[in-house]
Structure 1
Amino acid sequence: MALWDRIRQSTLTMQDQLVAKKNDLKSGAFRDASMAMCALVAAADGSVDPAERQRVAALITGNDVLSDFPADDLRRRFEDNCARLAADFAFGKVTVLQEVGKARKKPAEARAVIQIGIVIGGADGDFDAAERAVVREACFALGLDPAEFDV
């Protein structure tokens, strides 16, 4: 199986798992951590490209798992995290990882945040090394083993 096919299948499987758990994913901590995770993936290479930002914002507002939250609120939270990362990537990354860590108390939410990061990262068919690295860091912030997610 080609790499593209494996990435695509993995993201589809994770999205299906997230949809199955949707009713358990309604807390503010999950919302905040998910938007922070999306911003980390969008800025994984150290900068926030406007096209990447738009693509991720569209994926967020169209994601069925996040549909219980107001789209404007999700977009604002995502943009705030992107702004932190754009202003000073190293310092912003610490702050944004703290937001990700908000989901640590609930293992199901923590795993869902990581899955959202992987889905967002793989949506373009290229879950690259920088995206894997930020997802791995998010695993540590959430007290999860990155090997569980193959990152």
Structure 2
Amino acid sequence: MARRDYEDDPDAPKANSLVPAASAVVVDSAGRILLQRRADNGMWALPGGAMHIGESLPDCAVRETREETGYDVEIIGIVGTYTNPRHVFAYDDGEVRQEFSICFLARPVGGHLAVSEESTDVQWFEATEVDALPMVPSIRKRVNDWRDGNVPAAR
């Protein structure tokens, strides 16, 4: 399903839902970050998505990372909470979702690189390579929060 991100846009549609979500900054032992190119908007992003009934937010981040990248991860910290009411996602089915996401820091513990129906590419990037990648502002903020040292590095 296609979506459009609006952040601090006065012409954005009004939110009609609020869904808890989780994402993960996955960092390997070499300090590289795992990113996926989203199928719905063509932008590079962290793995993540909506929480299911019966799971915790950390479990959501682990599941979404496995589904979208092929990697099993271990949560080792929190990058931050992201709840900007002026950031909404408009889906083609009429849902307009207000952002509510916890971004976790994780390290890979198994699996292998794989794309999903939600991604067209999955790659590891050096922190210095990230600036040149097309990315929505909310994802760039999470990556910058990690990269700028606002959270501990992977062990």
Whichever structure has more strand as a proportion of its residues is 2
Whichever structure has more helix as a proportion of its residues is 1
Calculate the TM-score normalised by the size of structure 1.
0.29
Calculate the TM-score normalised by the size of structure 2.
0.29
- Rg (Cα) greater in structure: 2
